[in-house]
Amino acid sequence: MIHVEGLTKRYGQSLAIDNISFHINRGEVVGLLGPNGAGKTTTMKILTCFISATAGRASIAGHDTFDEPLKVKEQIGYLPESCPVYHDMDVTTYLRFSAEVRGIPSSKRKAAVDRVISDCDLGKVTYKLIGHLSKGYRQRVGLAQALIHDPAVLILDEPTSGLDPNQIRDILSLINNLGQEKTVIHSTHILSEVESTSDRVLIINNGHIVAQGTPKELMSRSSGTTVYLTVKGADVQTQLASAPFVKKAEKLADGRDGFLRLALQGADQRDVSLDVFKMAVEKNWLLSELKAETASLEDVFAKLTRG
């Protein structure tokens, strides 16, 4: 549905994105994750034909963003980060205007407006001025205009920016519902949003795609599972470090009464806590702690975007 190959964008001497490539299948919800200034908004502006690329190609539903921008715009609904709605219009008037701009026949506009008001839960504010609404409701209005023509693809640039926790939860729930029937790409720098909404994640940093996959895949590709143990025994650290199932044994602290606290990395990044337990039984070690922790998406993000 969305294909990007070798996409590059320069602003003068500044390189915003550098030779990025990815694809998004029909019906996927994909999170574009990265720190501020990573290139997320530039990528989305190219996909929506707002700006053109310096090099590379991008297409949506088979239509090239450079050669066929009008065809692309027919296929997409776009919510920019700033949510540029008309504050002096009421919700219904604005959505009717959006339907007209989108070329929806007059005989079908009311049905289209009623549909998005229902989908975006705007029934309580239909005749209120947009300028009098909370930011959360303005975001809903922005989503409604993006959906008015029933597009196959939704492109959402930081849709929860500036919202309070309840408003964020409502918008993420709406994205989850929309993702059941549409292709969605949304940008964010908030990791919990990606985990709760996205089938797949693209991590972008300094204009480069540095990782992509499901949240679970990304976490498994990191440092794997770390086993923490507090143990007492003769030459424990040396024996564990030389065990065939251990890649690294690091002492974290000296405990009381001769106990050591260690962190172990498995030789194949797997959970080796059962191997450690068996070894402790064989060696008559005393264990007061044994737990395994898998790297979080936050750990992966920090590793890929720092330095």
Boundaries of every domain in the chain = 2-213, 223-295
Assigned token pair, 56:
């590379």
Residue 2 pairs in a beta bridge with 24, 60
Of all residues in the chain, the percent with pLDDT exceeding 70 is 98
What is the tens place of the pLDDT at every residue in 111-131? 999 999 998 989 999 999 999
Distance CA 276, CA 269 (A): 14
Q: What is the pTM of this model?
A: 0.78
With a cut of 90, say whether residue 190 has pLDDT above it: no
Amino acid at residue number 257 = D
With a cut of 80, say whether residue 223 has pLDDT above it: no
**For residues 286 and 231, is the Cβ–Cβ distance under 8 A?**
yes
What would the mean pLDDT of 78-90 be, rounded to a whole number? 92
In this prediction, residue 222 carries a pLDDT of 63
105/195: higher pLDDT? 105
CATH 3.30.160 fits 223-295, yes or no: no
Identify the CATH assignment for 2-213 out of 3.30.1490.20, 3.10.20.590, 3.40.50.10070, 3.40.50.300: 3.40.50.300
In this prediction, residue 102 carries a pLDDT of 94
What is the tens place of the pLDDT at every residue in 255-296? 778 899 999 988 877 789 999 999 999 999 999 999 988 777
Walk across the sheet containing 153-157 and list its strands.
76-79, 153-157, 183-188, 29-33, 200-205, 208-213
In this prediction, residue 196 carries a pLDDT of 85
